[in-house]
Amino acid sequence: MTTPQDVSAFLNEFKAKMNDYSIVYIQRDKNFQALADLDILANDRTRYLQSLEVENYYKGPTLIMKDVLTTGSLV
């Protein structure tokens, strides 16, 4: 089970990396549809990511995602 402390640590690391590296958004129809469904403009994506807080957490990450975040690889 993911704790609020786990989520906070992830968000802190994620936001630090956002400041150091550029985010590459893959332009796929399903991504544009998801943004439209959420009423988020493409130009606002980064601002929404930067504003995420522990309280926004719902569930996850899965064990696979934890491995990806730890190793940087799906393999």
Q: Where are the domains of the chain?
A: 4-71
Nearest to 6 by CA among 67, 60, 71, 68: 60
Confidence of residue 8 (pLDDT cuts 50, 70, 90): very high
Mean pLDDT of 33-47: 92
Q: Which residue matches tokens 């400041």?
A: 19
* pTM given for the model: 0.68
- Residues comprising the chain, all counted: 75
Cβ neighbors of 69 (< 8 A, separation 6 or more) are: 10, 61
Q: Which of 16-20, 21-25, 63-67 has the lowest mean pLDDT?
A: 63-67
pLDDT reading at 29 higher than 90: yes
Tally DSSP H helices, then E strands, for the chain: 4, 0
pLDDT given at position 58: 87
Calpha distance 14→11 (Å, rounded): 5
